[in-house]
């Protein structure tokens, strides 16, 4: 369910701290980075992530982290919840019970996540109080950008409208070209599932 755009802007626009949740796995964490980098323009972001990916998030996304080891040490969730206290807003890019429940347990007031059509585990809906509709036919990177954009932060998109309007989030082609790159370039166009293969590798190579 989407709220009125002006209401979204007033709710999230004045806050300086934002909690991001995408715990794992490697490819999914990478797919979340573009949306988080866009949100950095306005918010001081802290990302809750599995410990093996902590350095990747800090180096590439350039944000602070709260590392967890839920797969091997479930009790690490208690330490994470303590570290998450004091945040007013969170965005769950994972859509699992374990990711949605953490900010709820920490007392985060506004907990944003995917709606019932995009969320992976339906019971996770119990722990979010702002559900955002996204186009599930698009690649997961675009869905993440759309979640961040429609949650009230236009700059999460390369050229989104002003004021956090809920217009369609543009694709990566909105970036300027040619893309300047130095040194060797490595493209890895594989993925574990066909629907996670980014569809623009050919055009990226041409650029």
Within the chain, what is the greatest distance between any pair of CA atoms?
A: 48
pTM above 0.75, yes or no: yes
| pLDDT-based confidence at residue 195 (cuts at 50, 70, 90) | confident
The yes-or-no verdict on residue 189 having pLDDT over 50 is yes
Three-class SS state of 160: coil
* Choice between 193 and 162, residue whose per-residue pLDDT is larger: 193
List, for residues 79-117, the tens digit of each pLDDT value: 999 999 999 999 999 999 999 999 999 999 999 999 999
What is the chain's percent helix, strand, coil content, to nearest 5?
40, 15, 45
Under a CB-based contact definition with an 8 Å cutoff, are residues 89 and 110 in contact?
yes
Alpha carbons 2 and 62: distance in angstroms, whole number: 29
List, for residues 26-72, the tens digit of each pLDDT value: 989 999 999 999 898 888 999 999 999 999 999 999 999 999 999 88
């Amino acid at each position: 369910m989407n709220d009125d755009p002006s209401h979204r802007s007033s709710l999230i626009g004045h806050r300086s701290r934002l909690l991001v949740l995408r715990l794992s796995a490697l490819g999914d964490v990478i797919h979340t980075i573009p949306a988080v980098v866009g949100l950095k323009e306005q918010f001081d972001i802290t990302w809750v992530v599995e410990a093996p990916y902590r350095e990747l998030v800090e180096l590439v996304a350039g944000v602070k982290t709260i590392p967890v080891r839920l797969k091997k040490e479930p009790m690490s969730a208690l330490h994470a919840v303590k570290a998450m206290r004091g945040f007013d807003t969170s965005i769950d890019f994972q859509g699992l019970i374990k990711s949605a429940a953490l900010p709820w347990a920490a007392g985060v007031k506004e907990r944003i996540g995917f709606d019932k059509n995009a969320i992976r585990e339906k019971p996770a809906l119990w722990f979010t109080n702002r559900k955002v509709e996204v186009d599930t036919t698009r690649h997961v990177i675009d869905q993440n950008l759309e979640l961040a954009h429609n949650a009230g932060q236009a700059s999460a998109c390369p050229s989104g409208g002003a004021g956090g309007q809920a217009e369609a989030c543009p694709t990566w082609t909105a970036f300027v070209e040619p893309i300047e790159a130095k040194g060797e370039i490595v493209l890895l166009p594989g993925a574990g599932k066909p629907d996670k293969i980014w569809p623009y590798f050919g055009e990226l190579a041409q650029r």
